[in-house]
Structure 1
Amino acid sequence: MTDAVRTDVRSNGRRAGGETAEQAVPELTVSGLTVKFAGLTALDSVDFTVAPGSLHALIGPNGAGKSTCFNVLSGVYRATTGSVRLGGAELTALSPHRIAALGVARTFQNIALSPRLSTADNLMLGRHRLTRTGFVSAGLRLPAGRREERRHRERVREIAEFVGIEAYLATPAGLLPYGVQKRVELARALCLEPRLLLLDEPVAGMNGGERRQMAALLRQVRTGLGLSILLVEHDMDMVARLADEVTVLDFGKRIATGPPAEIQRDPEVIRAYLGTSAADQPAPAEAEAGDDEKNEGRDR
């Protein structure tokens, strides 16, 4: 079923302009992004690029501006200045539904499912932008509307199987275990057939086993579907295993961008997370020598 999901995503990428599969996964370029709220600067001239088909992590301490950035990318907040371009489209002036129509899907840190709807119906909500049948045809259950609904429900079953939640399709979302609900949120985002997937702390609140399963699934989504993924996550082990590139924010500013191994050694990143710079810490030999000098002083 992975092949079916992959094929359908890429065929959906061939839009009216005759785009190729490669063009269907455009580069995301964030340039000089600044967001101010009543004089408070939440983002200050932030720049980063998400290469097509890559997994890019956006990390930083609480209050660094990660959620604000996601809200601008998905159209919830307006940028004060700066640019966000997805391929040739400028996103900063667009509404959330128009950004979604360009192939940008998002999950949320706090689960945002409809608890009384079945898993299948929650996933069908993700198919809304792909629906072509008019209101009258759908409402009156005309043949065209019924045929389209069958196609969408078959697609929902394929994606549910891909994500590993097909056994829960008939279950109300509110009755599912927490870890399964997080997978349903991911599946609903995939039902939009996105070109860019924004994941806001997808393993938050999960236990160790659930985290490992989700990490494996995200790797499968990225390699199997060829999407670009922008990930906000506090689990640094997961970021190091999955990310091609990492951008670090602190107090609304970008302080580092690079591969995970490089970021983990960056003194500014260490300072932001630990409150002290690695450069300020004496090397073991220096620390030992300093202790000896102190001891000699006390002896004298």
Structure 2
Amino acid sequence: MNSAHQSTDLFALNVFLAVANHRSFRAASIELNVTGSAVSHSVRSLEQRLGVRLFNRTTRSVSLTEAGQRLAARLRPAVTSIAEALQEANDFREVPSGTVRINASDAAIRMILRPLLARFLGRYPQIHLDIVTDGRLSDIVANGFDAGIRLAEAVPQDMIAVRLTETVQFAAVASPDYVRRRGRPAVPQDLHQHDCIRFRFESGALYRWEFERHGIAETVTVDGPLTLTDQALMVDAAIDGIGIAFVPDFLVRDALAAGSLERFLVDWCPVFPGVCLYYPGRRHVSSSLRALIDTIQNERRSGASAG
């Protein structure tokens, strides 16, 4: 096989895996920065060369055939090894470069990454950060991410975890106007008499508010006029007086300091292990990812010293 065919095959296999990971031709084209027609043509050509159908396609969905599933399972380790080999060679460059793909919840992005993005990218102009907001616990290996950021309790056991924060506590908050109109709940069960801003997971399930005090746990199914999938929007809605929000405390620190929100049920709000950045233990850590980890840790240390 000549070098042109080898190059074409490697591209086609990368395209195939991108479609397999995303179950979407459009998402694969965005990840690979190529046109949708190039993705479709590459997959179609690969299927013709192999003589088997790799995907079942409808106007609404894309799924792997059995042949596609087996091919993807065999290819992922091989393509990962090739990517790591190239990255290891790239690490001999003096300046970190390349793309770092991060999967994180919206709250983690706002807490950990947003405050340092401008400084980090200014310091490392040859690094490209590809950050995907994801409320699900996605498999970062299967979906082609270099690392994820989640609460420590949600990090898979086979991952290397780098602690970024000590603890996170949830906070029940409402605007001063809401408190004047409706009062303050004294115990979790009082929430049944209040308008609450509910949170819906990407799976479709509603979050049931969890409280604990002196070893007594209570779970409350709240009700209210608004349900959201974005915690930052929940904070905005609480500031607007729509109801009570229940969110990680780092999302409301500024609003509490400004007096636009009030906090209650503090003794009942649970504390969780802190946020971690995590990555596969068997995967080579690129100089670009290492630079990001070091920057995050230095920012956290600087913030703690300033505090």
Alignment TM-score > 0.5, same fold: no
- By relative contact order (CA 8 Å, sep 6+), the higher-ranking structure is 1
User: Shorter-chain TM-score: which interval?
Assistant: under 0.3
What TM-score do you get using the length of structure 1 for normalisation?
Answer: 0.25
What TM-score do you get using the length of structure 2 for normalisation?
Answer: 0.25
